[in-house]
Amino acid sequence: MSANGADGRRRRLGWAGRALVAAAGGAAGAAALGGVRAARRALAPPDERGGVTNRHERVGDFPERTHTPEPFRERYRLALGNERMRAGVLRFQRNWRNARDTSFADLADSEEMGEVYGRGPAPVGVDVNTGAEAAAAGAEFARRGRSFEELRDELAAIKDRTIAESERYLAEFTAAAEQRGCVVYRSSSAEDAGRYVADLCARKGIRRVAKSKSMLTEEIGLNPALEGRGLHIAETDLGEWLVQLAEERPSHIIGPALHMDRHRTAELLARATGQPLDPDDIGAQVGLARRTLREEFLTAGLGVSGANALICETGTTMIVTNEGNAELVTSLPDVHVVIVGIEKLLPTIADAMKQVRLLARSGTGQAISVYTTFISGPDRPGKEIHYVFVDNGRSAMAADPDFRSALRCIRCGACADVCPPYQVVGGHAFGYIYSGAIGL
């Protein structure tokens, strides 16, 4: 069944658009946290942000979060004085660039394109399903493979077309998802989306929520909204969890804890669990985190995730991760809530695979992420899947020629990884949710 909170559209750019305006003169989005491969947990809107997250569940004395970030000059001064962070970011950027260059060199390999992925689609504008000339062009593309630029332009054209006809594709996805037993809800506002999840927990008697990475949930302030209703919500990506423990916002869209070193992570884990840790024993830190987070997976009644893509033709969610936490968040609890925006819609599975080929390479320098999961409806009796669509300024962005292209973003974070200012000041200096402009 389909539910509609209201129109689901907003007449202004909203938080997402205003963030891009604020960051337009700065550095870029963000990318990957190599070894930990963490993802993003960003600062919620100031008027929706709660205080200490899950304070009643914590061990240790953590500093209070303020409702608004420090003024820019203060953030800038602190960032410039953090030499350890600056050295770590530079080291990461260099390693990422080497890995990315290698992975995209492999992309053009004809064996990869022809044998692994099958027939290579023709260039943008060529329909390989009609005519001998088009078929020949498709065969030539399969033979020689495609460059990063060609594949990027293909995906950009697909996303532009889908955004331009978002109502059509949203209706197609809704019909397919409902046919598979899912519930689709179009929220009327950021607050309405959080209220929907909180009310769902109340109806089901759920008190504990496990969450995988999602930028949109940070835009709408989901965590404080649920905590305000007395719910326990735990981030389960390692980097996200560390940022949550530190009462900080992420410094990187894929690697939120990129600014932390092993001494800081050992301190946070020891405070949260009451178990002392040797900062030089990385294995012990990871083991403790694994054991602690496993309890969150096993006791959660509801799991919250975002989506890397929504495939309209089948009503399928695609989620790409390296840690596997999203697989547990979406499969173990009896209720799974997917919170998404219209920019995640893609018409076909073939379109989604184009994104897969670009996302891991640009984000982490991998040919493909460790986990690429497709969810097409409940997998057992009693399982529920709810899709909550949030506009939060996206419709206004789609109608604005200056902002429209930002909706192409696949959240790979490569823009920050090539950004010189980001290397100098990190992600915290820029403020708000997104740490800079997108697509530099």
Q: Where are the domains of the chain?
A: 2-44+69-108+146-425
Consecutive H or E run containing 171: helix 166-179
Give the pLDDT mean for 232-246: 94
Indicate the average pLDDT of the chain.
79
pLDDT in tens, 142-191: 445 678 889 999 999 999 999 999 999 999 999 999 999 999 999 999 99
Residue 268 has pLDDT above 60, yes or no: yes
CA distance 361 to 356: 9
**Residue 81 amino acid letter:** G
What digits encode the pLDDT tens for the residues 28-71?
233 322 222 232 333 233 333 333 333 333 322 323 333 356 78
pLDDT at 247: 86
Most confident of 135-144, 252-261, 351-360: 351-360
For residue 105, name the pLDDT band (cuts at 50, 70, 90): confident
pLDDT at 398 over 90: yes
pLDDT-derived band of residue 9, with 50, 70 and 90 as boundaries? very low
For residue 407, what pLDDT band results from cuts at 50, 70 and 90? very high
User: Domain 2-44+69-108+146-425, what fold?
Assistant: Rossmann fold (3.40.50)
Cα–Cα dist 173/178, whole Å: 8
Query: Helices 166-179 & 148-164, crossing angle to 10 degrees?
Result: 90
User: Which comes out higher in pLDDT, residue 44 or 224?
Assistant: 224
Query: Looking at the predicted structure, is the pLDDT value of residue 99 above 60?
Result: yes
| Cβ atoms of residues 272 and 58 within 8 Å | yes
Q: Which amino acid is at 19?
A: A
User: What is the spatial distance between Cα 24 and Cα 402, in angstroms, rounded to a whole number?
Assistant: 11
